[in-house]
């Protein structure tokens, strides 16, 4: 048996693209978290690393919920929360690139930010505008 994915017939194309792009971005973020270096040292204990990983997982689930709220409950405010979050992610990424340069995990984050930006562009343009007004 295969699981069928149902998309509402009235879901605008731009909202669909927003949803897909954001979910792909969040999948990349989860892969990035899964492959993070979790080696304890003098600055980071095992407990701190565990809490940081748990918080990151909770944030990812929260972002999935925000995408769902925007796409299926027609809530406009989650788009703005995701836009602010993207802004903080880009600033953080720029700091990491300045300190460590381009590495594999930062390359994944760059792709994730680009996908998120494209998805949010779709959420604020075209046929998505009427979706969030109604």
On whether residue 100 sits in a domain, the answer given is: yes
In a domain, 23, yes or no: yes
b (16+ CB within 10 A) / e for 76-105: eebbeebeebbeebeeeeeeeeeeeeeeeb
Residue 1 belongs to a domain: no
3-state secondary structure of 1: coil
How many domains does one find in the chain? 1
Does the CA dihedral 115-120-121-125 come out positive or negative? Answer: positive
Tell me, what's the pLDDT at 134? 64
Q: Tell me if 8 is assigned to some domain.
A: no
Residue range(s) defining the domain that contains residue 111: 13-35+44-133
Is 0.85 topped by the overall pTM?
yes
Per-residue pLDDT of the chain (134 residues; tens, 9 = 90+): 555 556 667 899 999 999 999 999 999 999 988 877 677 777 778 888 889 889 999 999 999 999 999 999 999 999 999 999 999 999 999 999 999 899 888 899 999 999 999 999 999 999 999 999 86
Rounded to 5 degrees, what are φ and ψ at 125?
A: -130, 170
Helix then strand then coil, % of the chain, to nearest 5? 75, 0, 25
């Amino acid at each position: 048996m295969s699981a069928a994915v149902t998309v509402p017939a009235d879901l605008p194309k731009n909202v669909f693209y927003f949803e897909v792009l954001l979910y792909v971005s969040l999948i990349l973020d989860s892969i990035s978290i899964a492959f993070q270096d979790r080696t304890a040292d003098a600055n980071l204990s095992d407990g701190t690393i565990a809490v940081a990983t748990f918080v990151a997982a909770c944030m990812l689930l929260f972002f999935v919920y925000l995408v769902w709220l925007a796409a299926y409950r027609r809530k406009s405010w989650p788009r703005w929360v995701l836009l602010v979050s993207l802004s903080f992610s880009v600033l953080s990424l720029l700091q990491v690139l300045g300190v460590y340069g381009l590495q594999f995990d930062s390359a994944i984050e760059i792709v994730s930010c680009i996908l998120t930006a494209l998805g949010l562009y779709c959420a604020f343009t075209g046929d998505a505008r009427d979706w969030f007004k109604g």
